[in-house]
Amino acid sequence: MKSTTPDDALGFLLVTAARLLRQRFEAALAGAELDMTPGEARTLAMADRLGPVRQSELAAALSIEPMSLVAHLDRLEARGLLERRPDPDDRRSKRVHLSAQARTQLKRIQRVLGQARLEAVRGFSAAEIEHFHGFLERLSRNLAAPSASQDGR
């Protein structure tokens, strides 16, 4: 069966949806007056998800450059939301630890972004959301793996 859409339609749709979702999240955060950039909010959320984590691992999990992460960490640390402590297993590294104040901020962030997320999936059934999530995870794994052209195939 011949496709009625261009071969690159999926890519365009994904990029458009990601851009619109990001705009929605940014607007939701700004409207909540959290005094936090989306990057800082993502940093807190990922650090919470990973637990005390090395800065290099946190940057990799966020898919950002370590120098970009340092800027987020500097601002969050200045606000008392986290601290960087020496890594007991590697004295060259620092681990990011969230403060109690960060936990309060995270609850607000999760509430605001949860509402934005609900708006984004309005009209989807629970089963559709679950399937969509699985498809996106699989797509992400495929894209993260070396391509045939990268590994010499």
pLDDT tens track for 89-120: 988 889 999 999 999 999 999 999 999 999 99
The model's confidence at residue 134, banded by pLDDT at 50, 70 and 90, is: very high
Query: For the chain, what is the domain count?
Result: 1
Q: Give yes or no for a contact between 42 and 81, defined as CB atoms under 8 angstroms apart.
A: no
Closest CA to 47 of 38, 35, 57, 33: 57
* pLDDT at residue 40, rounded to an integer: 93
With respect to residue 150, please indicate whether it lies within any of the assigned structural domains.
Answer: no
Residue 61's domain comprises: 23-111
CATH code of residue 62: 1.10.10.10
With respect to residue 137, please indicate whether it lies within any of the assigned structural domains.
Answer: no
CA distance 15 to 119: 18
With respect to residue 11, please indicate whether it lies within any of the assigned structural domains.
Answer: no
Give one word for 42, left, alpha or beta, with left for phi > 0 and alpha for psi -120 to 50: alpha
* pLDDT at residue 35, rounded to an integer: 85
Whole-model pTM? Answer: 0.76
With respect to residue 85, please indicate whether it lies within any of the assigned structural domains.
Answer: yes
With respect to residue 48, please indicate whether it lies within any of the assigned structural domains.
Answer: yes
With respect to residue 50, please indicate whether it lies within any of the assigned structural domains.
Answer: yes
Number of H helices, E strands in the chain: 6, 3
CA distance 28 to 99: 24
